[in-house]
Chains A and B, each alone.
Chain A
Amino acid sequence: MSEPSVEFRCVSLDYLLPSEGDITSFKEWAIRRITQKISYRRMRALDDISFSLPPGRAIGLIGHNGAGKSTLLRVAAGILQPSEGVAVMRGLMAPVIELGTGFEFELSGRENIFFNGALLGRSWEDMNARVDEIIEFAELADFIDNPIRTYSTGMVARLAFSIATTVDAQILLLDEVLSVGDQRFRAKCDARMSRFRDEGVTIMLVSHDLDAIARVCDEVLWLDHGKIKAQGEARSVVREYAAWVARQDGHPSGEGNV
Chain B
Amino acid sequence: MPDASSHVLVNSADDRVRTIGEIKDLIRYSHLLANLVRRDLTVRYKRSVIGFFWTMLNPLLLMIILSIVFSNIFRFEGIEHYAVYFLSEYLVFGFFAQTTVTSMTSLAWNGGLMRKVRVPKSIFAISTTLSGLVNLCLAYLPLFVIMLVLGAPIKPTVLFLPVAFLIIGMFTLGVSFLLSALAVYFEDVSHMYQVATIGLMYMTPIIYPITIVPTKFMWLMRINPLTHLFKLARDPVYLGQLPAPHVLQASLVLSIVSLVVGWLVFHRMSRNFYHHL
Residue of A with least CB distance to B25: A121
Residues of B within 8 A of A106 (CB): 43, 47
Q: A97 near B5 (CB under 8 angstroms)?
A: no
Residue of A with least CB distance to B15: A81
Q: A26 near B186 (CB under 8 angstroms)?
A: yes
Residues of B within 8 A of A123 (CB): 5, 31
In the complex, identify which listed stretch (A59-67, A84-92, A130-138) lies at the interface while the others stay far away.
A84-92
**What is the total of A-B residue contacts with beta carbons within 8 Å?**
109
Q: B12 near A97 (CB under 8 angstroms)?
A: no
Residues of A within 8 A of B35 (CB): 114-115, 118
**A19-B134 Cα distance, complex, nearest whole Å:** 45
Which A residues, 77 to 124, have Cβ-Cβ distances below 8 Å to chain B? 77-82, 85-93, 95, 97-98, 101-102, 104, 106-107, 114-115, 117-124
Q: B117 near A26 (CB under 8 angstroms)?
A: no
Residues of B within 8 A of A92 (CB): 5-8
Residue of B with least CB distance to A98: B116
With contact pairs A90-B9, A118-B32, A121-B29 given, residues A79 and B186 touching in the complex (Cβ less than 8 Å): no
Residues of B within 8 A of A102 (CB): 113, 116-117
Residue of A with least CB distance to B182: A26
Q: B12 near A82 (CB under 8 angstroms)?
A: yes
**A102-B117 Cα distance, complex, nearest whole Å:** 9
A237 at the interface (CB under 8 A from B): no
**A86-B115 Cα distance, complex, nearest whole Å:** 20
With contact pairs A16-B272, A77-B118, A119-B32 given, residues A26 and B8 touching in the complex (Cβ less than 8 Å): no
Chain A residues touching B, range: 35 or more
Q: A81 near B12 (CB under 8 angstroms)?
A: yes
Which B residues, 107 to 137, have Cβ-Cβ distances below 8 Å to chain A? 112-119
**A76-B9 Cα distance, complex, nearest whole Å:** 10
Residue of B with least CB distance to A8: B12
CB of B153 to closest CB in A, whole Å = 44
A24 at the interface (CB under 8 A from B): yes
Residues of B within 8 A of A82 (CB): 12
Q: Which of B28, B116, B189, B275 gathers the greatest number of chain A CB atoms within 10 Å?
A: B116
CB of A186 to closest CB in B, whole Å = 23
B61 at the interface (CB under 8 A from A): no
Q: Beta-carbon contacts of A25-37 to B below 8 Å, as 1s and 0s?
A: 1110100000000
**A107-B42 Cα distance, complex, nearest whole Å:** 10
Residues of B within 8 A of A119 (CB): 32, 113, 117, 119
**A118-B185 Cα distance, complex, nearest whole Å:** 27
B70 at the interface (CB under 8 A from A): no
**A123-B34 Cα distance, complex, nearest whole Å:** 10
Residues of B within 8 A of A17 (CB): 275
**A24-B184 Cα distance, complex, nearest whole Å:** 9
State the interface size on chain B (CB cutoff 8 A). Answer: 37
Residues of B within 8 A of A80 (CB): 274
Among B6, B116, B188, the residue within 8 A (CB) of A27 is B188
Q: Beta-carbon contacts of A152-195 to B below 8 Å, as 1s and 0s?
A: 00000000000000001000000000000000000000000000
Among A11, A101, A114, the residue within 8 A (CB) of B116 is A101
Among B10, B187, B271, B275, the residue within 8 A (CB) of A24 is B187
Q: A26 near B192 (CB under 8 angstroms)?
A: yes
CB of B15 to closest CB in A, whole Å = 9
**A11-B8 Cα distance, complex, nearest whole Å:** 19
**A102-B123 Cα distance, complex, nearest whole Å:** 14
A75 at the interface (CB under 8 A from B): yes
Residues of B within 8 A of A89 (CB): 8-11
Residue of B with least CB distance to A14: B275
Residue of B with least CB distance to A82: B12
Q: B9 near A95 (CB under 8 angstroms)?
A: no
**A118-B33 Cα distance, complex, nearest whole Å:** 8
Among A29, A79, A91, A117, the residue within 8 A (CB) of B274 is A79
The 9 A-B pairs with the shortest beta carbon distances in the complex, nearest first, are A26-B186, A78-B10, A118-B32, A86-B13, A97-B116, A25-B188, A78-B118, A101-B116, A118-B35
State the A residues within 8 Å of B (CB): 11, 15-17, 23-27, 29, 74-82, 85-93, 95, 97-98, 101-102, 104, 106-107, 114-115, 117-124, 168
Given contacts A85-B12, A90-B9, 17 further A-B pairs with CB under 8 A are A16-B272, A24-B186, A26-B189, A29-B185, A29-B186, A76-B10, A77-B10, A80-B274, A81-B12, A89-B11, A92-B8, A102-B116, A104-B39, A106-B47, A107-B39, A122-B5, A123-B31
What are 24 of the A-B contact pairs (CB < 8 Å)? A11-B12, A16-B275, A26-B185, A26-B186, A76-B10, A77-B117, A79-B114, A79-B117, A80-B274, A85-B13, A86-B13, A88-B11, A89-B10, A95-B117, A95-B118, A101-B117, A102-B113, A102-B117, A106-B43, A115-B39, A117-B31, A121-B28, A121-B29, A122-B5
State the B residues within 8 Å of A (CB): 5-13, 28-29, 31-32, 34-35, 39, 43, 47, 112-119, 182, 185-189, 192, 271-272, 274-275
